[in-house]
Amino acid sequence: MINKLDTRIKLKRDTCLNWSNKSTFIPLSGEIIIYTDYTPDYLLNEQGRYVLDSEGNKIPKTNDKGEIKYIPGIKIGDGKAYLSDLPFVDEDTRYILNKHIRDYDLHLRLGERPFWDNKIDVIDGFYDGQDYEWEDSEGQGNLLNEMLVLTREDWLYELDRERVKRANEV
């Protein structure tokens, strides 16, 4: 009886063009087929948007030799379907992710985050590891850690002013 089997599995890999020329190929059940140049890996800017050239085309990433970097595509045979009829393993995931990305009611679109950043400050009454009391605008008491305060005022200046005031009282 063999206790250890030292082997390698060779996967079928080729370019999209070469795979498209094999119209009658039916991969075995569980056989992994790799499309080495499935889609280019594109450059992104700081906001997560594609970097475009002067004609509005996405710019692909390149290696040190100037060759385009690609993201491979994978199909898994079922033993019955032609290769061209099999889905790529990430098609369902890509569909779900793209649907989520385009759901503008759910979240901000790419590029909107910088617009909204620094529009409003959120204070939870806890800063620098110490509790600070904030009197509300109607003089109805203090806002403590449990209260959320939304403000556009320069609250750090007010905080420093309160620290000086407390220090002078002591």
pLDDT score, position 145: 47
* 41-to-16, 97, 101, 135, 142 alpha-carbon distances in Å: 15, 17, 18, 54, 54
Beta strand pairing status for 12-14 and 32-40?
parallel
CA nearest to 92, candidates 109, 75, 80: 75
Higher per-residue confidence, 47 vs 80: 80
pLDDT score, position 112: 73
Q: Please, what is the average pLDDT of the chain?
A: 77
Q: What's the rounded Cα separation, in Å, for the pair 97 and 90? A: 10
Convert the pLDDT of each residue in 63-94 to its tens digit: 999 999 999 999 999 999 999 999 998 878 87
CB 71 within 8 A of CB 88: no
- pLDDT-derived band at 154 (thresholds 50, 70, 90) equals low
Scored b (16 or more CB within 10 A) or e, 101-122 reads eeeeeeeeeeeeeeeeeeeeee
Most confident of 7-11, 23-27, 44-48: 23-27
- What is the per-residue DSSP string for 10-54? PPEEE-HHHHHT-TT--PPTT-EEEEEEEEE-B-B-TTSPBPB-T
CB 48 within 8 A of CB 105: no
pLDDT score, position 78: 93
Convert the pLDDT of each residue in 88-140 to its tens digit: 988 788 788 778 777 766 767 667 767 766 666 555 544 444 555 555 555 55
